Amino acid sequence: MLKKIVVIVLLLNFTAVLSFAAAPCFITKWDGSLGGGVFNGPYGIAVDNSGNVYVADQGNDQIKRYGTSGNYISGWGGLNTPFGVACDTLGFVYVVDSDNDRVKKFSAAGTYISDVGSGSGAGNGQFHAPTSIALDSLGNIYVVELGNSRVQKFDSSGNYILQWGSNGTGDGQFLNPYGIACDSTGNVYVADAANQRVQKFDSSGNYILQWGGFSNPFGVAVDSAGLVYVADAGNRNVQVFDQAGIYQYDWGTMGIGDGQFLFPVAIAFDNAGNIYVTDSSLSANRVQKFGVCTTHTNTPTCTQTNTVTQTQTEVFTQTVTETDTPTLTVTASNTATMWHTQTVTQTAFFSETCTTTNTITPQLTHTTTPILATTTATTTATVTVTATVTPTNAIEAAELTIEKSVTGDQPETGANVTFSINVSNTTLQSVTNLIVWDTLPSQLDYNGYAAAIAPQVTGNYVVFTIPVLNPGQIARVEIMATVRTFISGYPIQNTAWCDYNDAFYTAPSKHPAISSNSVFYPVDEPCVYPNPFNPDTAIDNALKIRNMVPGSRLNIYTLSAELVYAVDAVTTFVNWNAKNRYGNRVSPGIYYYVIQTPDKHIYKGKLFIVH
């Protein structure tokens, strides 16, 4: 009788490792839809010592106050294109009321207290299209102006101290300065957008240094460690430098996914070191919050004990019978030699498929000398086993493509539209657990779907899970929505995303989630698209103005009210190539467009131009 017992003990220890990565990690985002109203071109952002986050919602002419998780607290209006916002150590809020050429001081709850400076103009303490504001550790106030191409410094009571800067490309000169920040030692940093650079000055306005390599840097901020963060709108990222302008790292790519940007314009920090970035674009009117990255390292410790217990029982009986007078002599000798070979196959699943094969080869030799009786010999063998683990090779990651379309080019309010989403598997292997998701824009209300499997729906957030997509197959889903309202001058743009989350033993998706856009326009409202507008990358290198009444007049102005371009619409659309009346390309920055119909109806809005 042979008994074999194999015992395996597997112990897994998981250790969490906290690492401070160079680039921060995405924490949360908000667009105002959960309270306070949807953003319309959010620009400046600031955080006070209590953790209140203030956002200058310039398109809605409001300042909005949120908690650090994006929960709406309060807000106030009475402004005209508020661009910049800052907080002092006492909790007062300073707002750059750009189109009113004023800087206003409020309480945290929005109660007006006083003005900084003395009104509109080019004199000392006066403003012309101010854009951003910063405070130093002494409470001094710095305001940068687009119209006057300068920086002005005030004391904590709002009294004028000094100024520096002029229009130009030299050291200490500016072309479209938008952002401003101070470090702990009083140095001042200016985001000089059209000059594609950041300039550094001391607290008296003396030029120190500059660095460039940007594409429309609109925002600048300095953290508690002295690192300088630049919102590089044209490159759709945030870049980080030391105080000498030496590059450290960056994060962000073009898109509307978490951690991506379409037009980042301003940056702020809270006391915990979290970073807040405003993204001011038609498709990404939002604030994103970033913080320290936490990664987890799983370290498996495997202890394996294999015990083989073998029991062998042998019985030998011999009987001798004599009929005469016996003389009995018995000598018996028996030698037995046995060989046993065992094979035990185990399979253990970790984060990949592994096969463990243990081979146990004990050699047992027994010698038995029988007597005139029954004897039992017992042998026990304990064998130590060394396991060999051979991981299998993961299969290649799958590649997907996605296409999206919408029925109806100009639906009216209350009309139904259908988004059709086709996802293709272009590789030679199947992929499982395909996920397609879509957040419908705020102008629409979700009202149904067409697909083999029902989606998960939360408000306007729709998620489809497709169990398997074989090579060459196309999965099609449809989302139905109702047009609720239009934001004047804006098209309705919707983006669908897809990716897969296959089983753990399959190679993960090797790309960010892929996306596909669809855009349509409201009836009877002029639409300006794309916005932001990059004449180098836009289709046909043109800004498109659609849904115009024939005979309407289009005027484009700088923020200082200088006419840049004018044209009369012969048909229902006009294209513009970002050149002024003299045939020269205009500088990057913010412009106004005004459309006047033959019946004197006026549509107007802001246009962001990037190069």
Instruction: Give the model's pLDDT for residue 20.
Output: 36
* pLDDT-based confidence at residue 419 (cuts at 50, 70, 90): confident
Least confident interval from 6-15, 238-247, 253-262:
6-15
The Cα 170–Cα 210 span in angstroms is 11
Q: Kindly report the pTM of this predicted structure.
A: 0.57
Least confident interval from 122-131, 199-208, 330-339:
330-339
Indicate the fold that domain 25-291 takes in CATH: Neuraminidase (2.120.10)
Which structure tokens are listed for 98?
């750009």
- Right CATH for 400-520 from 3.40.1280.10, 3.20.20.80, 2.60.40.1530, 3.90.1170.40: 2.60.40.1530
- For the chain, how many helices (H) and strands (E)? 0, 47
Residues in a beta bridge with 239: 230, 250
Per-residue pLDDT of 580-600, as tens digits, reads 988 899 988 889 999 988 878
CATH 2.120.10.30 range(s) for the chain read: 25-291
Instruction: Give the model's pLDDT for residue 379.
Output: 38
The Cα 460–Cα 458 span in angstroms is 6
Per-residue pLDDT of 47-100, as tens digits, reads 999 999 999 999 899 999 999 999 999 999 999 999 999 999 999 999 999 989
**Strand bridging mode 553-558 / 514-520:** unpaired
pLDDT(180) > 90: yes
* pLDDT-based confidence at residue 231 (cuts at 50, 70, 90): very high
Per-residue pLDDT of 276-329, as tens digits, reads 999 987 668 899 999 988 654 545 444 454 544 444 444 444 444 444 444 444
Instruction: Give the model's pLDDT for residue 417.
Output: 84
* Mean model confidence pLDDT for the chain: 78
Per-residue pLDDT of 156-176, as tens digits, reads 999 999 999 999 999 999 988
pLDDT(32) > 70: yes
Q: CA angle at residue 56 from 50 to 62, to 5 degrees?
A: 105
Any idea what DSSP says for residue 127?
B
Q: Does domain 527-609 have CATH number 3.40.50.920?
A: no
Q: Give percent of the chain with pLDDT exceeding 70.
A: 73
Which structure tokens are listed for 266?
């301003």
Per-residue pLDDT of 464-506, as tens digits, reads 988 888 888 888 899 998 888 765 445 677 788 887 765 433 4
Per-residue pLDDT of 423-477, as tens digits, reads 888 777 778 888 888 888 877 889 999 888 889 888 888 989 888 888 888 888 9
Tell me which residue has tokens 């402004």: 79
* Four-point Cα dihedral 546, 550, 551, 554, nearest 10: 0
Would you say the C-alpha torsion 403, 408, 412, 414 has a positive or negative sign?
A: negative
Instruction: Give the model's pLDDT for residue 529.
Output: 82
Is residue 152 a contact partner of residue 142, using CB atoms and an 8 Å limit? Answer: yes
Instruction: Give the model's pLDDT for residue 483.
Output: 84
The Cα 128–Cα 126 span in angstroms is 7
Instruction: Give the model's pLDDT for residue 54.
Output: 98
